[in-house]
Structure 1
Amino acid sequence: MTSTVPQANVYASSSAAGNPMQGDETYQPQFLSLSGRIGRVRYLAYCCALTLIWAVAFGIVAVIGAVLKSPVLMGIGMVVLYIPLIVVQLGFGRRRLNDLDQSGWWLLLNFVPLANLGLAIYMLFFPGTKGSNRFGPEPVANTAGVIVLACIIPVFVFLGGILAAIAIPQYAEYQKRAKAKAAQQQGVPALPDAAEAPAPVPATNP
């Protein structure tokens, strides 16, 4: 009795051999991971989440420093907070560049004027590699929570611009009225603005 051994198909493609860098494999990114890939929306969402976490931690340190009346303790707390903030933020940038199939060393362009603006536009607006690249498989699709969190930064920037456009003229008008009131209390007439000053009357020949 003879047994036959199945022969491998020499015409099969290399992707059928279980190469992890081929096909439609995806992975679930982790917030504090320093490797892997993240897309544009997830990059914005992670940066927003990190900012909120840091703001809460900053508030706690500020309150503790104020209660203990210790500016030294507050300064030390700020340094302790900044170190992990920078490390995690650099990790986000590296993972976003990896999604674009670029090295994390591109982050050094942040120290080059104008090039840093181009890098920010590239990271925020250019889509990542479809499928797997040399840095790993493509991230899973964004969840609703990630999308909502990513929208917080643009919404705050938009609302902040509107509030600034309203508040700045109002504050300038308030300062003007406060100076005029202070001058009246001191018995000094307030100087009119250039726009409100009367036009000079031309001299007439006798």
Structure 2
Amino acid sequence: MDFVESIKTCLRKYAAFNGRASRPEYWWFALFYFLVSVVAAMFSDVLNALVGVAVLLPSLAVGTRRLHDIGKSGWFQLVWFIPLIGWALMIYWLVQPTGPANEYGTGPELPRNDPLEIPPGL
């Protein structure tokens, strides 16, 4: 999943708290949110606040789907409110690889990692 596809997916699933989200989907959207916030803050605080409110729900939704991907409930996002330790724990969870099928679904489609085949004679 690339940058644009991730943003489209997250905005299309604006308030979808069910299912699973892959690592690239979550982190590309997080980068998008950061960049949009920086640009909005350069113009005005009011615009930055509006961007924050507009992207709050999709951010919570993709965070929930990302936690579902590793087999955790979306309610674990409340750990963000615990300074330092909670932040470290959330980042640790969010960088975990996609888990096997669980109660939240079969998981996002991942690219195949076939080993490189070298032709004979090289």
TM-score interval (norm. to shorter): 0.5 to 0.7
Computing the radius of gyration over CA atoms, which structure comes out larger, 1 or 2? 1
Q: Distance in 2 between matches of 1:116 and 1:52?
A: 20
Aligned residue for 1:106?
A: 76
Unaligned runs of 5+ in 2: 112-122
Q: Is the aligned partner of 1:120 residue 2:91? A: yes
Partner AA of 2:104 in structure 1: F
Tell me the matched-pair count: 100
**How many Å apart are 1:104 and its aligned residue?**
0.6
Kindly indicate whether the alpha-carbon contact (under 8 Å) linking 2:36 and 2:51 is maintained by their aligned counterparts in 1.
Answer: no
Partner AA of 1:117 in structure 2: A
Q: 2:107 aligns with which of 118, 138, 150?
A: 138
**How many Å apart are 1:89 and its aligned residue?**
1.8
> In angstroms, what is the RMSD of aligned CA positions?
2.5
TM-score by length of 2: 0.66
Q: 2:24 aligns with which of 27, 36, 41?
A: 41
Give the percent of matched residue pairs that are identical in Structure 1 and Structure 2: 23
Unaligned runs of 5+ in 1: 1-27, 63-73, 143-206
Q: How do 1:175-194 residues align onto structure 2 when only pairs under 5 Å count?
A: none
Kindly indicate whether the alpha-carbon contact (under 8 Å) linking 2:79 and 2:87 is maintained by their aligned counterparts in 1.
Answer: yes
TM-score by length of 1: 0.42
Secondary structure of the structure 1 residue equivalent to 2:10:
coil
Q: Distance in 2 between matches of 1:75 and 1:52?
A: 15
Distance 1:84 1:139, change over 3 A: same
**How many Å apart are 1:102 and its aligned residue?**
0.9
